[in-house]
Amino acid sequence: MKRYRTALTIAGSDPSGGAGLQADLKTFSALGVYGSTAVVAVVDENTAGVYGVHPIPVDFVRGQIRSVLSDVGADAVKIGMLHDSGLIRGVLDSLREFPDVRDIVFDPVMVATSGDPLLQPDAIGTLASELIPYARVITPNLPEAELLLGARIECQDQFEDAARQLSAVGGGCVSVMLKAGHLENAMLTDYFYNAESGRMLRLPSTKVDTPNTHGTGCTLSSAIAAFMALGHSLDDAVSRAKAYIGDAIMAGADYSIGKGHGPVHHFHRWW
């Protein structure tokens, strides 16, 4: 029998379809990976903002994770929005029941593209001390990196040191994709610190002038997970994911969906 490559996303929903687990499933599918989900919250949001978060009980989230991993399994896991410490610990405890599942990509979602907070402030310490050390890769943007480090990152020249410092937050074992999208530079360079090899990758791109950036972080992190699930090396998975999100932003730049930040074009390779 043939076997699908599989990936699990542990994330909140986005009814407008551009971010959260909807974006993750679209990304998995576009890249040829079978996607499954564990829903941590039902979010009331659209392209203009976040209006409410309805948390799923932690035990029910744990049940979803256990049901998927004990049956379908996962070649990689992407973790998105986790809104409080109890949920963070519940997800972590569930993953520890399946020690063979170690290709874990964590997108430390704290603030939505619209600027709305998505994480309770007292949960930042739990992320840093408990979940980040268990992940293989984290993908913070600039505001998230500043919250984790407790320091400002004001220019591109600080990125290399910041990426290494973020890895140190996780005990020095977690690799870090530090994203530059919040800078105003016309030319942006994301930095990927591979903690397993000690190598630093610089991934430059031209900033696209478009409002359609809703779900870019979700899409990038799920693309990394997808390429890991397909068997690519860490550096290659990150490089391919960076190219995929760049093309998705470019392909979706001129579309109009919603009244705020529209989505990227996840299926740009197909239509």
Catalytic residue among 90, 216, 242, 246: 216
Distance CA 178, CA 167 (A): 10
- Annotated catalytic residue 173: no
16 is written with which tokens?
A: 């407008």
Catalytic residue among 18, 218, 242, 262: 218
Catalytic residue among 139, 179, 181, 246: 179
Catalytic residue among 12, 20, 215, 262: 215
Angle subtended at Cα 97 by Cα 94 and Cα 102, rounded to the nearest 5 degrees: 90
Distance CA 224, CA 3 (A): 20
- Annotated catalytic residue 213: yes
- Annotated catalytic residue 218: yes
Catalytic residue among 213, 242, 246, 252: 213
Catalytic residue among 217, 246, 252, 262: 217
Active-site positions? 179, 213, 215-218
